[in-house]
Amino acid sequence: MVRRYYDRADRESTINPFRCEGFLRDGAIPRRGGGSVALDTLPPFLRALLVTDGTVTKILEAYFWEPVNVSTQRQEFVTAEQPIPWVSVAPGDRVLVREAHLRGADRGTLYATAFSIIRTELIPDTFRQRLIDREIGIGVLIRDSGLESYREVIEVDVTTVTDEDIDHEELGTGDLLARTYRIIIGREPVILITEGFPVSRYR
C-alpha cells in the first residue's frame, strides 16, 4: 500500500478539482486504472464525505445514528524505499503505517477503511508512545494535542475492491470510493491518510 504514494507530487492532485470543490456541475472523479465516475451518480452523503475536513468517525455516527468503533488491523514501522512527497518522506526514512476499520458498534457494519502513514518523530513526546502503543487514535491525538493542525484533501478517486484491500471479502466486489488527505501539525505534514468507503453501504 505504501508504494501507491511513492514519488507522487502535489501537482498531480490538481487534475481532480473536486478534492477542494463542493460542487462541480457535470463533474467526475477518476477511476484508478482508467476511466471516471460521474459525481451525480454517487450517494449524496459520500460526496459530502469526500470534501469534509472534519472527523469522519463523528460524521458517520451522526449519519448512521450509532457509535462507530475504530479498530486497528495492522500497525508496523516500515522504511520508505522511495520518496513520499505528500508528507516529505525521503528514501530510508522510517514511518509508522496503520490500517484500521471503522465499524458500527450496533449493526457491526464496516463503513470505512483507513490507511495511515505517520511521521512519528514529529508527534509531541507526550503522545508519541501512546499512539505507537495504540492507546489513542489519530483523531484523539489531533483533538487533545493542543497543536494547530490542518487537514488538506489531496486526492479523491474510485477503484474496485481487490484482494489487497483490508477485509476485501466483507467489502464485496463493488466500488470503493477514497479520499487521501494529509494532516499538517506545526506547519509540517505529519500524517497521510487514505479513507475508503464501500459505495454499497451508502445506497
With pLDDT > 90 as the criterion, what percentage of the chain qualifies? 36
Rounded (5°) CA angle 143-144-146: 95
Handedness of CA 149, 147, 138, 91 (dihedral sign): positive
Please tell me whether residue 164 adopts helix, strand or coil conformation: coil
Number of H helices, E strands in the chain: 5, 8
What pLDDT does residue 172 have?
A: 65
What does the pLDDT look like over 14-64, one tens digit per residue? 556 666 667 778 888 888 888 888 988 999 999 888 877 677 888 999 999
Percentages of the chain per state (helix, strand, coil), in multiples of 5? 30, 35, 35
Q: Write down all domains in the chain, each with its CATH number in brackets.
A: 2-202 (3.40.1410.10)
